[in-house]
Structure 1
Amino acid sequence: MNGLRVIPTWSHGQERLYVALTDGRNIAWYDREAARVNLLSEDRRDDVLEALGPFLTGPVVVGPPPVPTPAELARLSLHPDDDLAPNRPGEALLVALDRDPGPAGRIRPDPRRRALEAEQLVGEALDRLDGADWHALHSIPLPGGDRVHHLAIGPAGLFAVHTLYARKQRVRVADPLVAVGRRGPQPLLRRVRADADRASYALTAEVRPVLAVVSPTRLDLTTPPREVRVLTDTDLNTLSRQGGVLKPADVEALHAIARDRTTWTRV
């Protein structure tokens, strides 16, 4: 026996096993998901591996903890109230509906619920890009009560995505006007460009505007919109197929900046 104790812990759904001295001080930990044993001191390397022996599930990397990147340090220093990463798609609408559900038994559907459905569908599609080294942030608040519905950050660049509910309706786009069903056209593309411009200013990086149209029966582009990509919610995965613009370190750094609420307070 080498006098070391192995103490299992759980954090954010992940298991980590700490190796502690008899006085309670930790000298190593085993991250099973990363297959890595992090040593705070090389002096007890053999003892640590002996203590962890029954718990190791395969080959592991053994060494000192990796040095955190600037992006990781920025994330770790964020106050929880300023971290936008936990925002759900449609977060602002969810909060508004919770505070004021609206009158019961109304004949017409609450337009906020339709908008929420659209943001949730688009948000889920963007979240699925995570496996391709992408990050998605949702419902980013801007001064004046506006917000960016979604911000996608990945190798192909940054995209401010505005959602439009159009289930079972025809959508006609004639820059800058967008018409849904029988409703009159609205200059929606001006809003989409403005959101991307504000995001570019906040992040000091090019952010391209995207209009995501949810579940239309037909999407007609009378004239190709200037700068704005118009996609249906089922075509959002095409964003990840574009050529690489950002390196992985740039993606992580921009995500760390964008998730900080204070980044957006002066745009």
Structure 2
Amino acid sequence: MSGLRVIPTWRHGHERLYVCRTDGRNIAWYDREAGRVNLLSEERREDVLAVLGPFVTGPVTVGPPPVPTPAELARLSLHPDDDLAPNRPGEALLIALDRDPGPPRRLRPDPRRRALAAEQTVGAALDRLEGAGWHTLHSVPLPGGDRIHHLVIGPGGLFCVRSLHTRGQRVVVTDPMVAVGRQAPRPLLRGLRADADRASYALTAEVHPLLALAEPSGLAVTTPLGEARVLRDSDLAELARTGGTLKPADVEALHAMARDRRTWSPV
């Protein structure tokens, strides 16, 4: 008997099978998705492969763990309090509503809840880009109490995304003004461009402004928008079809920089 046992775990949504000694220490793990058995010591190679035998599917590569990239090292050294990656869509609004939910009954709906619904709708659409090599950070805090609703990083570049609640309403965009239904037009694109400029400064990379409309009934853009884009939440999947701007290593490096709260303190 080798005295080894196999313990299944989940890490970042992927299953891993760890091989442990009787004292609980790991000596190898099998990443089924990558088709790789990572050995921490060559001395128990045959024992490890024997105990993993019933679990292995298809051909596998056996060897020491791959050397972490600079982006992975930066992530591993990041303090949890400074890591923005776990933020949920609308994280700042969720915290604000938890601290001050407002009166139980009011004549008009709390505008914070409409804004939260928009960020959650848009955020869910952006999170679905993850499988196409994109990363999305939500509620990125900026000095002065401002924040970027969503920052998207992928093969097609970087986008500073602002969510806008437009459910069931027609939106008319006359740069920089945005009119939602019967509401008075507001210069939303001007503020969005300013946020994108701050993100460009923090990341030393070009960041494009993108206004994301949550469930509008219609959209009319009456003037050219230049570098800015306006998309419905249902059209955000178009980003996955863009590429050729950033290599995978650049995407990972920029994501590692952007998820660090300290990156945003000088802007």
The TM-score range, normalised by the shorter chain, is over 0.9
For 2:50, the aligned partner's letter is E
Q: Is the 8 A contact 2:28 2:48 kept in 1?
A: yes
Q: Is the 8 A contact 2:139 2:149 kept in 1?
A: yes
Q: Is the 8 A contact 1:212 1:232 kept in 2?
A: yes
Distance apart, 1:139 and its partner CA: 0.6
The CA deviation string for residues 52-86 of structure 1, in whole angstroms up to 9 with x for no partner, is: 22332332211111111111111111111111111
Distance apart, 1:15 and its partner CA: 4.5
Superposition pairs for residues 1-267 of structure 1, below 5 Å?
1=1, 3-12=2-11, 14-21=14-21, 25-267=25-267
* Normalised TM-score (structure 1): 0.93
CA 1:186–1:36: 2 relative to 1, 3 Å:
same
SS at 1:161 equivalent:
strand
The CA distance in 1 between the partners of 2:43 and 2:166, in whole Å, is: 64
Q: What are the ranges of 5 or more consecutive residues in structure 1 without an aligned counterpart?
A: none
CA 1:190–1:29: 2 relative to 1, 3 Å:
same
The CA deviation string for residues 201-250 of structure 1, in whole angstroms up to 9 with x for no partner, is: 11000000001112222212121123210111111111222241000110
CA 1:23–1:189: 2 relative to 1, 3 Å:
closer
The CA deviation string for residues 109-134 of structure 1, in whole angstroms up to 9 with x for no partner, is: 11111101111110011011111111
For 1:219, the aligned partner's letter is L
The CA distance in 1 between the partners of 2:102 and 2:22, in whole Å, is: 59
Identity of paired residues, percent?
A: 73
The CA distance in 2 between the partners of 1:163 and 1:82, in whole Å, is: 24
SS at 1:162 equivalent:
strand
The CA deviation string for residues 81-111 of structure 1, in whole angstroms up to 9 with x for no partner, is: 1111111100001111111111111121111
The CA distance in 2 between the partners of 1:15 and 1:146, in whole Å, is: 38
Q: How many residues align?
A: 266
Distance apart, 1:260 and its partner CA: 0.7
The CA deviation string for residues 161-193 of structure 1, in whole angstroms up to 9 with x for no partner, is: 011111122212111111112221111111110
More divergent stretch after superposition (221-230 vs 9-18): 9-18
More divergent stretch after superposition (96-105 vs 44-53): 44-53
For 1:208, the aligned partner's letter is H
Q: Is the 8 A contact 2:4 2:48 kept in 1?
A: no
The CA distance in 1 between the partners of 2:180 and 2:18, in whole Å, is: 57
SS at 1:62 equivalent:
strand
Q: Is the 8 A contact 1:4 1:51 kept in 2?
A: no
* Normalised TM-score (structure 2): 0.93
For 2:170, the aligned partner's letter is R
More divergent stretch after superposition (131-140 vs 49-58): 49-58
SS at 1:223 equivalent:
coil
Distance apart, 1:40 and its partner CA: 2.0
Distance apart, 1:22 and its partner CA: 5.3
Q: Is the 8 A contact 2:9 2:18 kept in 1?
A: no
